[in-house]
Amino acid sequence: MKMSATTVRRGLYGMFAGGLLAFGSAAIITPVANAQPAPAQDHTCSVSAIAETSSTVSATTGTYLASNPEADDELTRITTQSPAEPTEAFRAYFAQNPQVESELKAINQPAAEISNQCGIEVNPTPISEALADA
């Protein structure tokens, strides 16, 4: 499936907007949640925890790429290649841009942790998937 750069950007902006809505909702809900006693069970692998982690990673990735337009443009170009090509293209890009890779890995670390902890694949963005393969 070939996507245009505009389509990818719109998708990333949509994920970013969704993340902002999630943060706004969390700001409203947090005082109420803090008033309740802590649950006895660990809900790290609950669907809500995974969704919150994915939303946070997506929003932070969107913010990072928006503030780094060169990386955004190149990663968008790679994402729009045929399905067989992006993995090697991502590896080559990250090899040439280790700081970008390091920063994106730090941003995506919560998704990687929840994936390992829960034994499921959590890739909120195409970048998350590429970093998991790198």
Q: Where are the domains of the chain?
A: 5-133
% of the chain at pLDDT higher than 70:
66
Residue 39 is predicted with a pLDDT of: 46
Residue 4 is predicted with a pLDDT of: 56
% of the chain at pLDDT higher than 90:
43
pLDDT one-digit tens code per residue, 23-75 = 555 545 555 455 554 444 557 789 999 999 999 999 999 999 999 999 999 99
Burial class (CB in 10 A: 0-12, 13-18, 19+), 82: exposed
Residue 40 is predicted with a pLDDT of: 43
Handedness of CA 67, 80, 95, 105 (dihedral sign): positive
Is the pLDDT confidence value at 90 over 50?
Answer: yes
